[in-house]
Amino acid sequence: AMATAGPRSFSAAEVRARCAQGACLVSCRRRLYDLSGFVRLHPGGEQLLRRRAGTDVSAALDGPPHRHSENARRWLEQYYVGDIEPGDEQTTALGAWEGFAAQNPAAAAQLCAWHWDGLWVPQHYNPCLLPQDLVDWQKPLLWQVGYLGEKYDEWVHQPVDRPIRLFHSDFLEFLSKTAWYVVFLVWTPVVLYLSWVSYTSLAQGNTRLFSSFTTEYSIPVHKYYFPFIFLLGMVLWSLLEYLIHRFVFHMKPPASNYYLITLHFLLHGQHHKSPFDSSRLVFPPVPASLVIGFFYGVLRLLLPEVLGLSVFVGGLCGYVIYDMMHYYLHYGSPKKGTYLYGLKAYHVKHHFEHQKSGFGISTRFWDYPFRTLIPEETFKKED
């Protein structure tokens, strides 16, 4: 059961003093939030939030330039620390809001609280704690989520800011977590070594395309072709990245199938539930090696050995870049106006509002031909 104690009250002077010391406190009407631990993760950039420290962000949540989703508003509630004391000039509008809320509870609930499983959450609770009651966060989640049934899809797409434990076994749990630099340290030497093997093998002049079908019309593959074959592998990876993300990671498991729900959560659902769990943003090397080995085998069957290896190593390089970019899109703070700034905002929209589109991560390119591009926001001008 949740505690029924009321929220702590903060004076305007106390809020100003904390902000002067470096904290990032913002308010939404009378509710006060401490975003100090979130500023670097904000898709709009750290400085944007820093400039709003000590202010009311109610209007900013509605935009322009960006209208924040219900998930974003729900996410904000995780940083709720109390209420601002009424009484000074800055809180006059807040008193009017309280009068409106008393007379229009349903409308107030839509604006400040949120709805879960038929229940409006009272304003003196931390609303984001409620959906967590569907599972026991003190126990591994992997074996619990399958029992959520029809509630799973909504629950998994309502993100929270807390780490996830999947397994009872400490060893399996260790294997399921990976620091971002591990991917770079493990796979970069492999990319460099296989690139050298591919180039030197092509340099021997024995590789010919279509040689398994005909010797008369087979095409020699020179060593100078290696950079282009490598780039082809990277392009093929970007397509594979899109297809896996869309059709495997974003499959909607049947509500009645415990095992498919569990599999979905293991593959990708965990990431959508806790998108800023830093230990689960890149693919662990052990399961990754199995998937990578599978695709290497496919290329060996389809192409001559050295040619298949050259395409494979380009794809492997593309995967490493993808994983590094994915981590950065969650934890980096790119400069406004840069390519990565736009890509970060795009990917965060995928997590918080557009889970059925925006499947490109390292590039939006494939979202165009497959018509899954996240639409740009438009705001009507008010007279």
Calpha distance 160→184 (Å, rounded): 27
Indicate where the chain has its CATH 3.10.120.10 domain(s): 9-102
- Tens-place pLDDT, residues 368-382: 999 999 988 765 544
Least confident of 178-192, 204-218, 329-343: 204-218
DSSP lists the bridge partners of residue 119 as 116
Residue whose tokens read 């780490």: 163
CA 232 to chain CA mean position, Å: 27
Say which amino acid occupies 200. T
Summarize pLDDT for 217-235 with one digit per residue, the tens: 667 777 888 999 999 999 9
pLDDT of residue 370: 96
Question: What number is the average pLDDT over the span 168-179?
Answer: 93
Type of residue found at 229: I
Calpha distance 352→61 (Å, rounded): 14
Highest mean pLDDT (candidates 64-78, 131-145, 176-190, 302-316): 176-190
Calculate ∠ Cα 256-262-265, nearest 5°: 120
**Token pair listed for 331:** 């934890």
Binding residues for Zn(2+): 245, 250, 268, 271-272, 326, 330, 347, 350-351
Tell me the binding residues for heme.
Answer: 42, 68
pLDDT at 99: 46
Residues 6+ apart with CB under 8 A from 106: none
CA atoms within 13 A on the CB side of 316: 29
Summarize pLDDT for 270-298 with one digit per residue, the tens.
999 999 999 999 999 999 999 999 999 99
Q: In whole angstroms, give the CA distance from residue 341 to residue 333.
A: 8
Angle at 257 between CA 253 and CA 262, to 5 degrees: 70
In this prediction, residue 37 carries a pLDDT of 84
What homologous superfamily does CATH list for 9-102? Cytochrome b5-like heme/steroid binding domain (3.10.120.10)
Q: What is the mean pLDDT of the chain?
A: 82
Q: What is the pLDDT of residue 133?
A: 64
What are the tokens at 223?
A: 């060593």
pLDDT grade for 3, boundaries at 50, 70 and 90? very low
pLDDT at 292: 95
Binding site as annotated, residues: 42, 68, 245, 250, 268, 271-272, 326, 330, 347, 350-351
Helix (H) or strand (E) run with residue 27 in it: strand 25-28
What is the rounded CA–CA span in Å between residue 13 and residue 169? 49
- Tokens linked to 68: 């924040």
Residue matched to tokens 């493990």: 186
Alpha-carbon distance 29 to 10, whole Å?
13
Identity of residue 98: E
Which string of DSSP letters, residue by residue, matches 299-361? HHHHS-HHHHHHHHHHHHHHHHHHHHHHHHHHH--PPTTSHHHHHHHHHHHHHHT-TTS---S
Q: What is the CA radius of gyration of the chain?
A: 25
Band of pLDDT at residue 95, cut at 50, 70 and 90: very low
Rounded to whole angstroms, how far apart are CA atoms 61 and 67?
A: 6
Across the range 110-133, mean pLDDT stands at: 40
1 against 332, higher pLDDT:
332
Q: How is residue 11 written in tokens?
A: 């004076």
- Give phi and psi for 132, each to the nearest 5: -70, -20
**What are 29-49's pLDDT values in tens digits?**
888 999 888 888 887 777 878
Angle made by CA atoms 331, 191, 288, in degrees to the nearest 5: 60
